[in-house]
Chain A
């Protein structure tokens, strides 16, 4: 019972932390390099324990992110749902990839996410973003091994093992 509670707490704490990381500003020049944290954390949980992450949960996390970040309610919900769907679909293969291939897969997912974002914004009537728009997926993919290892290590230290 206690263990289950710790597990759920740890799970939700990482997601809330990812929302905070999304809100915390980067100093001036580094701003375009900020990775899309909620997506990275959600991907980790998709690969680590796929039965806990569902499309509905991704949708809710996206709505919450929209409330904080928000230009358009539902924008991030759409992006995260699509990403989680793809990740869950290929979960069994992604898990057995070596780390560099996993990073490439994450890069693909993040670029796909940016394309979705671009579509939504262009349909909403915004102008096309500058080229720095495409840096963030690269940074996210480069950070992926560290995110994965740190979260995995913390999970092991907290002795939260599950199926």
Chain B
């Protein structure tokens, strides 16, 4: 050891100093992680550093954008014509459906006005594009090219043409990060469209499926049932398609049925997504009715001295016995 102390790369480096530094750095990393996990200030730090982070996201998104552009540029005419034809047919179909729905929607609107609810069928949305950035495998998150400058807020719902994709979890000035419904940490309240059964769909750890782990055993659930958002919880508005059940089985304990569902949205293919502006109506009881009765100016002043008829309590901070005596004195 002492022989090659001044050598540049000794076979065994001086161990103690290195180990000490390692311990310091590891401890520092652990402290940062715990603080971040508890209070989530990574988002704040990243918001502050977004001046650096966002351009890098944009640059890192260029290859996938270029790949997409190249696909379009080199796609043969035949495929493009076919795609165009298909889109036209879809549009025609959608328009026809819309026309049929228009009268129903109008009727619905009138009935809703009669019922005095503020829920409307029209959507208030904002278009956003995906930025092709990989936020780590098994992290079901996507980066969108709109941010707080476009008045995006955490909690806004992200949908595509087929269904719910997820919700915004983090907003930077010109980009935002959305958590997909397949993230293991995500849960979405759903109803089964056919039976109206309410349950919760969680993301699954295995990737692109949803799990519904706690359906009552007696419930009627079949493969092929459609899931739509139930609107409970106040985050996702009701009625958006979420997925389709692919597999139903008993849980190992036998107390529940557990189902697997495929998300309705094209989670890994959508390029353009929509952000819903109106959040669902908040859950819970309605706010209390405004106070009826005489105006507050007529209310007796609480701070005013008691009327002279009452025997005055000389020492409010005295032992409880005289207080009780005084209060019993006021009763007649």
Please name the residue on chain B nearest to A121 by beta carbon. Answer: B138
Pick from B11, B32, B37, B56: contact of A23, CB below 8 A. B56
Query: Is B316 an interface residue when CB atoms closer than 8 A count as contact?
Result: no
Question: Which of B29, B46, B52, B53 has the most C-beta atoms of chain A within 10 angstroms of its own C-beta?
Answer: B29
- A74 lies within 8 A of B32 (CB): yes
Q: In the complex where A71-B139, A120-B33 touch, is A20 in contact with B25 (Cβ < 8 A)?
A: no
- A20 lies within 8 A of B33 (CB): no
A125-154 toward B: CB 8 Å interface, digit per residue (1/0)? 011111011001000000000000000000
User: Which chain B positions have C-beta within 8 A of A120?
Assistant: 33
Query: Is B184 an interface residue when CB atoms closer than 8 A count as contact?
Result: yes
- A78 lies within 8 A of B46 (CB): no
Query: Is B59 an interface residue when CB atoms closer than 8 A count as contact?
Result: yes
How near does chain B come to A139, taking the closest CB pair, in angstroms?
A: 12
- A130 lies within 8 A of B205 (CB): yes
Query: Is A105 an interface residue when CB atoms closer than 8 A count as contact?
Result: no
Please, how many angstroms separate the alpha-carbon atoms of A82 and B22 in the complex? Answer: 7
B228-240 toward A: CB 8 Å interface, digit per residue (1/0)? 0000000000000
Pick from B9, B52, B138, B139: contact of A50, CB below 8 A. B9
- B10 lies within 8 A of A92 (CB): yes
Query: Is B207 an interface residue when CB atoms closer than 8 A count as contact?
Result: yes
Please, how many angstroms separate the alpha-carbon atoms of A34 and B25 in the complex? Answer: 27
Query: Is A67 an interface residue when CB atoms closer than 8 A count as contact?
Result: yes
Please, how many angstroms separate the alpha-carbon atoms of A112 and B49 in the complex? Answer: 31
- B138 lies within 8 A of A70 (CB): no
Query: Is A98 an interface residue when CB atoms closer than 8 A count as contact?
Result: no
Query: Is B100 an interface residue when CB atoms closer than 8 A count as contact?
Result: no
Query: Is B72 an interface residue when CB atoms closer than 8 A count as contact?
Result: no
How near does chain B come to A38, taking the closest CB pair, in angstroms?
A: 12
Please, how many angstroms separate the alpha-carbon atoms of A128 and B31 in the complex? Answer: 23
- B132 lies within 8 A of A74 (CB): no
Please name the residue on chain A nearest to B170 by beta carbon. Answer: A70
Query: Is B98 an interface residue when CB atoms closer than 8 A count as contact?
Result: no
- Tally of chain B residues near chain A (CB < 8 A): 46
- A28 lies within 8 A of B268 (CB): yes
User: Which chain A positions have C-beta within 8 A of B206?
Assistant: 130
The interface size bin for chain A is 35 or more
Pick from B22, B30, B63, B138: contact of A130, CB below 8 A. B138
Please name the residue on chain A nearest to B42 by beta carbon. Answer: A73
Query: Is A88 an interface residue when CB atoms closer than 8 A count as contact?
Result: yes
Please, how many angstroms separate the alpha-carbon atoms of A32 and B206 in the complex? Answer: 12
User: Which chain B positions have C-beta within 8 A of A19?
Assistant: 56
- B13 lies within 8 A of A89 (CB): yes
Please name the residue on chain A nearest to B52 by beta carbon. Answer: A67
Q: In the complex where A24-B63, A91-B9, A133-B138 touch, is A74 in contact with B33 (Cβ < 8 A)?
A: yes
Q: In the complex where A70-B46, A73-B42 touch, is A25 in contact with B134 (Cβ < 8 A)?
A: yes
B253-284 toward A: CB 8 Å interface, digit per residue (1/0)? 00000000000000010000000000000000
How near does chain A come to B204, taking the closest CB pair, in angstroms?
A: 9
Query: Is B21 an interface residue when CB atoms closer than 8 A count as contact?
Result: yes
List B1-36 residues whose CB lies under 8 Å from chain A: 8-11, 13, 15, 18, 21-22, 25-26, 28-33, 36
List B262-316 residues whose CB lies under 8 Å from chain A: 268
Q: In the complex where A77-B29, A126-B184 touch, is A136 in contact with B136 (Cβ < 8 A)?
A: no
Pick from B18, B139, B207: contact of A88, CB below 8 A. B18
User: Which chain B positions have C-beta within 8 A of A74?
Assistant: 28-33, 36
Pick from A34, A59, A136: contact of B28, CB below 8 A. A59
B175-210 toward A: CB 8 Å interface, digit per residue (1/0)? 000000000110000000000000000000111000
List A16-46 residues whose CB lies under 8 Å from chain B: 19-20, 22-28, 31-32, 34
Q: Known A-B contacts: A24-B132, A78-B30. Give 20 more (CB < 8 A).
A: A23-B134, A26-B134, A31-B137, A51-B8, A51-B9, A56-B21, A67-B45, A67-B49, A68-B57, A69-B135, A70-B42, A71-B135, A72-B36, A74-B28, A74-B30, A74-B33, A75-B33, A81-B26, A127-B205, A133-B138
A-B contact pairs, 28 of them (CB 8 A): A20-B60, A23-B56, A23-B60, A23-B133, A23-B134, A24-B63, A24-B64, A24-B134, A27-B67, A28-B268, A31-B137, A50-B9, A51-B8, A55-B18, A56-B21, A59-B25, A62-B29, A70-B42, A70-B46, A72-B33, A73-B45, A74-B29, A74-B36, A78-B29, A81-B25, A82-B22, A89-B15, A124-B37
Ranked nearest first, the 8 interchain pairs of A and B with the lowest CB-CB distance are: A74-B32, A23-B60, A78-B29, A25-B134, A74-B33, A74-B29, A73-B42, A127-B205
